[in-house]
Structure 1
Amino acid sequence: MNKDTGGPAFPVSYDHDTFQPSRVDEAKRLMSGMDLRDYFATKALQGLLSWAGDDSSGSYHSNSDPAHTASMAYEYADAMLAARVKP
């Protein structure tokens, strides 16, 4: 599954004098990092994990299942990415 990742979460401008890479793959490594989708998911995960999950409000969320909670974090991240492109 190929998802739009939103690009880098913390982009840096390329300055050859600062990075001074000897190879293209080294330049890519120096400029790589977390993409925006992962960053959004980590923020959503923080919120999901901060809630005890035993609320009587009728919400379907329970953070007792890590795989489900992680999946939900990426659902929120994907929704945030989609919201960025809407007019």
Structure 2
Amino acid sequence: MSKETGGPAFPTPGDKGSDGMTLRDYFAAHALSGLMTSYATAKGTHEELEKATPAICYAMADAMLKEREK
């Protein structure tokens, strides 16, 4: 398991192909889902939100991975 990515989100035993989405990507996607539910009340331009949202989602994902290590 990679500490940076958390390893594959949905590993398939014996599968020698692609591991697919990482756990970090999975956590970030769920963070994005939560952020988008509050999008209507967000202040700022669409462009500002578009630039900030990925960084916020991956920062949340990194925090979740760090917490998992405890």
Between structures 1 and 2, the one with greater helix share: 2
Larger radius of gyration: 1
- Where structure 1 has 5 or more consecutive residues not aligned to the other structure, the ranges are 20-26, 56-60
% identical equivalent positions: 44
Provide the rounded CA distance (Å) in 2 between the counterparts of 1:69 and 1:36. Answer: 18
Match of 2:51 in 1: 67
Match of 1:11 in 2: 11
- Measured against aligned partners, the alpha-carbon deviations of 1:14-73 in whole angstroms (never above 9, x if no partner) come to 1xxxx6xxxxxxx3xx24200000000000000001103536xxxxx7683212011100
Compute the RMSD of aligned alpha carbons. Answer: 2.3
1:9 and 1:36 in contact (8 A); partners too:
yes
- Count of residues paired in the alignment: 66
In the superposition, the TM-score normalised over structure 1's length comes to: 0.65
In the superposition, the TM-score normalised over structure 2's length comes to: 0.79
